[in-house]
Amino acid sequence: MKAAVFRGNGRIAAEDWPRPTIGAGELLLRLRGCGLCGSDIAKIVAPDTKAPAVFGHELVGDVIEAGAGVQGIARGDRVVAAHHVPCGECHYCRRGSESMCRAFKESHLDPGGFAEFVRVPTTNVAHATFRLPEHVSDEAASFVEPLGCCVRATRRTGARAGDTAVVVGLGSIGCLFVQLLARTGATVVGMDASPGRVEIARGLGLPAMSMSEANTAIARLSGGRGADVVLITGGAASALGWAVTAVRDGGSIHYFAGGPGDALPVALETLYHRELTITATYSSSPADLSEAFCLVTTGAVTLEPLYTHRLPLDRLDEGVDLMRTGRALKVYVTP
């Protein structure tokens, strides 16, 4: 089969890759498409990522084979399947840290969504594979995974009605957060340093602004206190510095981004005397995914305009370029 294979040093090419075979309890999917995630790009450009590898975890596919014992899903179904699944039984899982579960980190689809066929292992089938109703488009369905991560993060911010919540960074993830935070009843301010991104987000009807406009809006909305919640989706350490100035005393900052910067630009004195809370979330649990699945199938979140580009597998490298340079919000890759 064909797959977009990572060959190290940022290089990706469409090559032959062994077609997976399945066993009992497993599924074989023929890929319909897969979203390109910022975390795929981070792996592609990192100097120490192991090659060869096939990335992609925001996938939609048709079941063409179901192993013995699979229940509730059959050949011919169109599904989304999660990449990582926790064990549900360890200390991490029982404490709500499912994405820190050791089994979670080891579980994965085979080989990944940027391929013609994918094997879905038993635990992924049992706990985090969702059968799609007809009215949901492939593109919207591929958003279940990133939306699940955003559902988890939004819950952890603790945002509620009456709050002023700020989203830093208006890529596709930031645009999801603006919508999810609005559903908590908070008044949301979306901010991005790139005028192009602000314009795209405004085009989607989202409250998007520049940094100086955001400063004014936050002061007005909060009576000069500052935002209750600031959620950072990009911009690394420098965004955290701004967030500390934008958040109110006693407020919270949620960090939802990787990226460079190995120190928090926050004086410990500030952290303590201003009683700030800094939280982070990584990935999502099956419960977060099922909540996201429900939001997608009920049309509660606007998703389709977030797809700005559609590319075939053999042009994945172009998609990486488009997203790195901020010209694309979300790239959807089809075999």
In the complex, what is the shortest distance from the CB of residue 235 to Zn ion, in angstroms, rounded to a whole number? 18
Residue type, 176: L
What is the per-residue burial (b if ≥16 Cβ within 10 Å, else e) of 125-137?
bbbbbbebeeebb
- Nearest in space to 127 (alpha carbons), one of 173, 93, 151: 93
- Comparison of 29 and 227: residue with beta carbon closer to Zn ion: 29
Residue type, 126: A
Strand partners, 168: 191, 232
In the complex, what is the shortest distance from the CB of residue 220 to Zn ion, in angstroms, rounded to a whole number? 34
- Comparison of 86 and 335: residue with beta carbon closer to Zn ion: 86
- Comparison of 90 and 193: residue with beta carbon closer to Zn ion: 90
Q: What residues have CB less than 8 Å from 71, skipping those under 6 apart?
A: none
Position among 60, 93, 115, 208 found at the interface with Zn ion (CB under 5 A): 93
Q: What residues have CB less than 8 Å from 301, skipping those under 6 apart?
A: 143, 147, 176, 179, 180, 295
Using rule CB under 5 A, residue 37 touches Zn ion = yes
The site for Zn ion, by CB under 5 A, has a size of 7
How far apart, in whole angstroms, are the C-alpha atoms of residue 188 and residue 221?
A: 10
In the complex, what is the shortest distance from the CB of residue 143 to Zn ion, in angstroms, rounded to a whole number? 10
In the complex, what is the shortest distance from the CB of residue 77 to Zn ion, in angstroms, rounded to a whole number? 23
Give SS3 for 117. strand
Using rule CB under 5 A, residue 90 touches Zn ion = yes
In the complex, what is the shortest distance from the CB of residue 145 to Zn ion, in angstroms, rounded to a whole number? 6
Which of 43-51, 99-107, 235-243, 252-260 is the region at the interface with Zn ion (rule: CB under 5 A)? 99-107
Which of 67-75, 90-98, 228-236, 285-293 is the region at the interface with Zn ion (rule: CB under 5 A)? 90-98
Instruction: Note whether 242 and 211 are within 8 A (CB).
Output: yes
- Comparison of 117 and 256: residue with beta carbon closer to Zn ion: 256
Sites of contact with Zn ion (CB under 5 A): 37, 39, 86-87, 90, 93, 101
